[in-house]
Amino acid sequence: MAKSEISEINPEVVEETVAEKVKTEADYRGTGRRKNAIVRVRLIPGSGKITVNGRDGHDYFGRDALVNYALTPFKVTDTVDHFDVIAIATGGGISGQSGALRHGIARALLEAGDYRTELKKAGFLTRDPRMVERKKYGLKKARKRPQFSKR
């Protein structure tokens, strides 16, 4: 910006734009992890719309089973269609991202209300520690060995 443009900025307009960026309504955040996937989740009071990386949740995951798996924390806490989900997913595949979304939604619901006992009992607050085993040298995969040849 040139110096003349800076002096022409109206301070009232700047305050309005900053106020729009500050959260105007209640939103609850949580980060979920599964395998190599990380999902940042925002819950906003709404009608139950799911958005992942700017796309509809059903379009993003492609299978209803993955979407239903991710939304199980809402079913356990009886908050189906109470929140809109906005998520940013990185890493892993769609299955891991679905699990990470479930973990992130559960963590965000902790901020939203008094749901700790239900979520803890269902096991949604515990990060799934299972990871892919690394490949070892001399083997084809982590455990698969080359075919044995007697001669």
More confident residue, 113 or 60: 60
**Model pLDDT, residue 122:** 94
The answer on pLDDT for 67 being more than 70 is: yes
Q: Higher confidence at residue 12 or residue 148? A: 148
Q: What is the pLDDT of residues 69-112, one digit of tens each?
A: 999 999 999 999 999 999 999 999 999 999 999 999 999 999 99
For every residue of 21-85, which 3-state class applies, written as one string?
HCCCCCCEEEEEEECCEEEEEEEEECCCCEEECCEEHHHHHCCHHHHHHHCHHHHHCCCCCCEEE
d(CA 72, CA 69): 6
Strand 37-45 and strand 83-90: pairing?
antiparallel
CA max distance for the chain: 86
Distance CA 151, CA 149 (A): 6
| Domains assigned to the chain | 20-122 (3.30.230.10)
The mean pLDDT of 24-51, rounded to a whole number, is 92
Query: What pLDDT score was predicted for residue 10?
Result: 52
Mean pLDDT of 5-26: 51
Segment 53-63 mean pLDDT: 95
pLDDT attached to residue 26 = 85
In this prediction, residue 36 carries a pLDDT of: 95
The 10s digit of each residue's pLDDT in 114-148 is 999 999 999 999 999 999 999 999 999 999 999 99
pLDDT computed for residue 20 by the predictor: 47
Structure tokens belonging to residue 73: 């924390």
Task: Determine the Cα–Cα distance for residues 29 and 82; give it in Å rounded to an integer.
Answer: 15
Res 17 pLDDT > 70? no
